[in-house]
């Protein structure tokens, strides 16, 4: 059974609880971040401001600062406890700025960033168009958006076993690669490139699997009348059809995306039709103030 996404407050509580232990269990998240960082070779503009959206403990933020040492790097997350971990990574000569906020309502000025980076955070807000509209707003024309997210088939073994254990089980719905690509185009991003890979992590026992999911907050994507820990014995039995060579596999469908901020005037699609946005400054420069009534300022 699938349901509506968790409220931002609930997601914040999940990550506040796991902040102290997250890094010791987040091998998958760290590996995907490393693969995402490799894609920075396509970046066209030397960034002055970089925003790591859903930064967690700030490992990727620190890597971005190490690569772009003159840039301001902002680690943005809804969890204050996660941002405390980011502060510990910040150094005098490589300072990281932490901002506590929701990715879908960024406290940043329009066209204020040249690089937006987000590693395995977008799945907590499964309507990508909501996020991409906001990302486009703060990204400068020609700036780069680089992200990864869980795809449709993620956690398939666990979701199946959990549904058998608990008839009230619910799972957050993950967007597929076509939905995300369509949302990028609808938001007006230029030259979007999407690809995906399947990563399977295997565990020696069900205890290890549950412990890692809880320590990284991923367990919060599944809900039921009891938590995973309380139902481990039943879960182990329900997982039996998926065991391979005595181990417990867990599949992640990882989607990667790259796109660039559009020039001003590039339309974006909304329920009310195409919307075109110009800044006052660009209208003044182009002498098009007479057209201001047809532009959304």
Q: Within this chain, do residues 285 and 259 fall inside the same structural domain, yes or no?
A: no
Q: Within this chain, do residues 183 and 295 fall inside the same structural domain, yes or no?
A: no
Of 157, 135, 175, nearest to 249 by C-alpha is 157
Q: Within this chain, do residues 17 and 92 fall inside the same structural domain, yes or no?
A: yes
Tally the domains of the chain: 2
pTM: 0.87
Specify the long-range contacts of residues 291-297, CB closer than 8 Å, at least 24 apart.
none
With a CB cutoff of 8 Å and minimum separation 6, the contacts of 195 are 177, 255, 256
Q: Within this chain, do residues 104 and 65 fall inside the same structural domain, yes or no?
A: yes
Please check whether residue 229 lies inside any domain of the structure: no
Please check whether residue 295 lies inside any domain of the structure: yes
Q: State the pLDDT at residue 41.
A: 83
One digit per residue, the tens of pLDDT, for the chain of length 297 reads 455 567 889 999 999 999 999 999 999 999 999 999 999 987 777 899 999 999 999 999 999 999 999 999 999 999 999 999 999 998 866 899 999 999 999 999 999 999 999 999 999 987 899 999 999 999 999 999 999 999 999 999 999 998 888 777 677 789 999 999 999 999 999 999 999 999 999 999 999 999 999 999 999 998 765 678 888 889 999 999 999 999 999 999 999 999 999 987 555 554 445 454 545 454 345 555 445 344 433
CA–CA distance, 70 with 45 (Å, rounded to integer): 13
Residue span of the structural domain in which 59 resides: 2-154+173-204+251-263
Q: Within this chain, do residues 296 and 181 fall inside the same structural domain, yes or no?
A: no
CATH of the domain at 101: 3.40.50.150
Q: Within this chain, do residues 93 and 19 fall inside the same structural domain, yes or no?
A: yes
Q: State the pLDDT at residue 289.
A: 46
Do residues 295 and 276 make contact, with C-beta atoms less than 8 angstroms apart? yes
Q: Within this chain, do residues 61 and 99 fall inside the same structural domain, yes or no?
A: yes
Please check whether residue 17 lies inside any domain of the structure: yes
Q: Within this chain, do residues 39 and 58 fall inside the same structural domain, yes or no?
A: yes
């Amino acid at each position: 059974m699938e349901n509506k996404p968790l409220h931002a407050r609930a997601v914040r509580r999940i990550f506040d609880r796991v902040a102290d232990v997250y890094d010791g269990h987040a091998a998958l998240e760290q590996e995907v971040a490393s693969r995402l960082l490799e894609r920075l070779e396509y970046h066209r503009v030397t960034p002055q401001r970089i925003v790591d959206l859903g930064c967690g403990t700030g490992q990727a933020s620190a890597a971005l600062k190490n690569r772009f040492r003159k840039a301001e790097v902002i680690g943005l997350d809804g969890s204050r406890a996660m941002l405390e971990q980011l502060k510990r990574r910040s150094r005098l000569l490589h300072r990281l700025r932490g901002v506590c906020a929701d990715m879908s309502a960024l406290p940043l000025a329009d066209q204020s960033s040249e690089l937006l980076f987000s590693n395995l955070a977008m799945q907590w807000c499964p309507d990508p168009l909501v996020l991409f509209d906001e990302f486009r707003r703060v990204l400068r024309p020609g700036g780069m958006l680089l992200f990864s997210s869980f795809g449709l088939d993620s956690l398939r073994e666990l979701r199946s076993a959990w549904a058998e254990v608990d008839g009230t089980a619910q799972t957050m719905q993950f967007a597929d690669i076509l939905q995300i690509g369509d949302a990028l185009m609808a938001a007006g991003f230029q030259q979007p490139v999407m690809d995906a890979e399947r990563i399977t992590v295997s565990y020696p026992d069900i205890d290890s699997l549950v412990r890692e999911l809880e320590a990284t907050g991923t367990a919060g994507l599944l809900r039921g009348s009891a938590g995973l820990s309380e139902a481990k014995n039943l879960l182990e039995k329900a997982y039996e059809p998926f065991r391979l060579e005595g181990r417990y596999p867990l599949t992640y469908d990882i989607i990667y995306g790259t796109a660039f901020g559009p020039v001003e005037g590039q339309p974006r699609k909304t329920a009310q039709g195409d919307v075109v946005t110009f800044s006052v400054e660009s209208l003044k420069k182009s002498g098009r103030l007479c057209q201001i009534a047809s532009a959304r300022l």
